[in-house]
Structure 1
Amino acid sequence: MLQSGHINFFNVDKCGLYSFSGKDPVALTLPDTFEKLTEWAKARSFETTNPWDPKKNKNKTPCYCHKVHFDEATGDYLLVLWKGENDKHGPLYGMTIAADGKPDQKPIKQADKPKKGKVVWGRPCYYWVIPKAQCIASIKFENSRCDSNMFQDWVAGSMNFRVELPEYKKVTTDSGLVRLQFSEDESNPYKYYYQFDLSLRTLSTSSAPLQELGKKVTHIIRRETVSLNVKDERKGWVKTFGEIILPYASNKDSKSRKVELTVEARPTVEEIRDIIEKFGSTSDSADGDDVGFVLDNGRTVWAKQYRHSETFSINDDGNDILDAKYLYQTLSANRSRYLAPIFKDMRAAKTGTDK
């Protein structure tokens, strides 16, 4: 059956070892990180690729590594991760774990009778790692999930707590922060820590849609969900609004409330791009937290409309979970076209020319 895939691109803002005062990584950059993650995941049983103990970390979404494909020609990686879930929204699949700790190649569906052995229920997540473009792409299908926060947590958690780094010394502070030291650098004890941060990538400032948007914006809208029963440590309007009691407010018994703030503004194209990348939603949900813009004709447009994204089709051959190598081969057929805007921006940043 032919499936439609949707690709969203993310900037890799940070990846590697950073000193507490440094802006640039000193080691474990994007290619090094995923080389080590790949070696580690291939040597582990399926369940032990979740970097957190589910009994001790109930607030963390279980995430496992199902398959990794590495392309030597480009240096790209295609990861199939498994988001552990038990909700009933959409198709749910079970990964049966064999006696050797490896998952069966063909997952079962909710309606199927589980085979003997443990079953890990969840959904696949597909991520394309492109070190030469310093970016990550998530690939979304109807039966898969995209969760950029989970992906960032999985990478950082695996590197901090599970992947062996014999060239470094590790220490965990009382607050849970993992600090590292180069083995031969005794003069800088535990000066470094690992970071992995992504941000949504928008269209180039020179693109026609963003240029047209820049001419029409009159207001900026910030939409967030405010918790009503948990102490909110955030500063500014979000925290303040959570304390305001309004008459006739809906969902009085709810644990949270959706709040929108509209501010009059005339941002430049560069500022619009920065706003989208910092505050634009990365969620699959249509009604999640996001940032939007009111135009001079009164119409509202949301940030996700200006993501750097692509669509494609792939034949799943009757498989619910796509093979990592097969998916990568399909994507690589149009790799140059997909990545052209990114490489253009990278060249512009180097030369200091307008994007």
Structure 2
Amino acid sequence: MIEEARITFYEIERCGYYRYNHDEPEFGSVLDVMSQLHDWVKQDDCVLGETCTYKVEEGESVYHTYCFDLVKGNPTNDFLLTTWNEVPSVNGQIAAVNATEHVGAATVNLSEIAEGHIPGYATYFWIIPERKIFATICFHNALNGHQNFKKYMKEYIAKFTSYVVAEEDEDQTNIIGYAQNPGEQAQNYLPSFNSRLFRLPSKLEYLRNNHQFIKKIIRKNKLNPDVQENLSFWEWMLRNIGIADPEPLENEIRIRYEFNRTPSIEELNTIIHQYYEDHDSKWDDVGFHLEGEDAPIWLSHSVAKNKFDLDIEKDNAEIINANSLLAAICQNRQNILNLVNN
């Protein structure tokens, strides 16, 4: 079946084991780490519930991420990773609210979660080790799972590869360092994984070279009721327009605001940096209106992303078959990679 896929590319900035204040890893390439992860999750005795690489501490906003599937393509050595991202539940039940009822009087229904099951949603990643890049692939779900993926990979590198040197202490395992080869003395390397949106330099350079002509900055964003800063901004914004007793922010809402400003080159670089560090929402955007131009220039247009029709197979309503998805990508590989070849 043909499905429209939203593909967004990211650069892998760090992957492996580093000496402090060094930018290149001593060992642990993207291909090496992904190959070890593949072997780890494909062990005969490995079950999905044991594939999360980190613990969730009380009060953290992140939930568990599991490996649903991981397949490797030949001869490209590309990988297709499907992650399962846990969503919150209430005493073994999923809560849903009736959106057609009035605020303050809406009913909430609770659905039982079958024993041993993890409520969540799937996200998909196409990893290309030779290029040190990967792409998120979204279909009907707006969430791409990028932040969960970064945490998952960083914790895997820190705890589970063949380079980890550990000691057993009663009922727990203590990691004492990392060594490239078995039997070598453990060293205090820094395990690391980090990624950022793939930037299209030509569009950013145009902005930098013409920053003195910027007359207006525009911001589009989503306010999330789960983020305290968003709640404070929402209340401030309503009070600022004369609403003395603002209603609480209960659902995600889109906002757009603009102001006249010609940023310095330092300010422009800060805006660009923060956008790339924090951006994961398709509606989160910053635009610049330049003197003499009809339309603003949006930072989202400097990101390597586009929509593609892929011929895929589904295992069920939620899960796309990993082998099918990787095959569909490989059939369109060069066309898709043109996003990052320009």
Q: Normalising by the residue count of structure 2, what TM-score does the alignment of the two structures yield?
A: 0.70
Task: Show CA shifts across 1:256-312 (max 9, x none).
Answer: 9989786413759xx9799646523532352x4x43323324754432233111321
Residues in 1 aligned to 2:263 and 2:183: alpha-carbon distance in whole angstroms: 53
Shifted more, 144-153 versus 28-37: the winner is: 144-153
Closer/same/farther in 2, CA of residues 156 and 294 from structure 1, 3 Å limit = same
Over 3 Å counting, the alpha-carbon distance change for 1:118 and 1:227 in structure 2 is closer
> Structure 2 regions of 5+ residues with no counterpart?
89-94, 98-108, 168-173
CA deviations over 1:137-171 (Å, ceiling 9, x no partner): 0001014630211110011122223x242x44258
Distance 1:230 1:122 in 2: 20
2:146 maps to: 148
Q: What pairs up with 1:257-296 in 2 under 5 angstroms?
A: 263-265=261-263, 276=272, 279-280=275-276, 282-284=279-281, 286=283, 288=284, 290-296=285-291
| 1:195 corresponding residue in structure 2 | 192
Provide runs of 4+ in structure 1 moved above 6 Å. Answer: 110-114, 222-232, 255-261, 271-274
Q: Residues 204 and 341 of structure 1 are in contact (CA less than 8 Å); yes or no, is this contact kept in structure 2?
A: no
* 1:70 correspondence with 2:72: yes
CA RMSD of aligned residues (A): 4.5
1:327 aligns with 2:325: yes
CA distance in 1: counterparts of 2:158 and 2:6, whole angstroms: 31
After superposing the two structures, state which structure 1 stretch, 273-282 or 33-42, moved more: 273-282
Counterpart in the other structure of 1:133: 131
**Are positions 1:313 and 2:324 aligned together?**
no
Q: Which runs of 5+ in 1 are unaligned?
A: 90-109, 172-176, 233-237, 345-355
Q: Which residue in the other structure is 1:30 paired with?
A: 30
Preserved CA contact (<8 Å) 1:178 1:193: no
Change (3 A) 1:202 1:245: closer
Render the CA deviation track for 1:296-333: whole Å, top value 9, x for unaligned: 24754432233111321234556421111110111111
> Contact conserved, 1:292 with 1:302, CA < 8 A, in 2?
yes
Distance 2:59 2:78 in 1: 31
Counterpart CA distance in 2 for 1:35 and 1:327 is: 19
Corresponding position: 1:17 with 2:8: no
> Please, which of 98, 120, 123 is the counterpart of residue 121 of structure 2?
123
| Alignment partner, residue 93 of structure 1 | none
- Corresponding residue number in structure 2 for 1:84: 86
Contact 2:124-2:136 within 8 A present in 1 as well: yes
User: Which letter maps to 1:336?
Assistant: Q
Question: Is the 2:216–2:258 contact (alpha carbons within 8 Å) kept by the matching residues of 1?
Answer: no
Task: Look up the SS of the partner of 1:120 in the other structure.
Answer: coil
More displaced 10-residue stretch of structure 1: 33-42 or 209-218:
209-218
Residues 58, 77 of structure 1: alpha-carbon distance in 2 compared, 3 angstrom cutoff: same
SS in 2 for 1:32: helix
Partner of 1:351: none
Question: Given residue 289 of structure 2, which amino acid in structure 1 is its aligned partner?
Answer: V
Deviates more, 1:305-314 or 1:11-20: 305-314
Select which of 48, 51, 58 maps to 1:49: 51
Report the equivalent of 2:240.
Answer: 248
Task: Quickly say closer, same or farther: Cα 1:178–1:229, change in 2 above 3 A.
Answer: farther
Amino acid at match of 2:85: K
Structure 2 distance, partners of 1:317, 1:294, is: 43
Distance 2:225 2:306 in 1: 38
Amino acid at match of 1:131: P
The residue identity in structure 2 corresponding to 1:159 is I
Contact 2:10 2:196 in 1 (8 A): yes
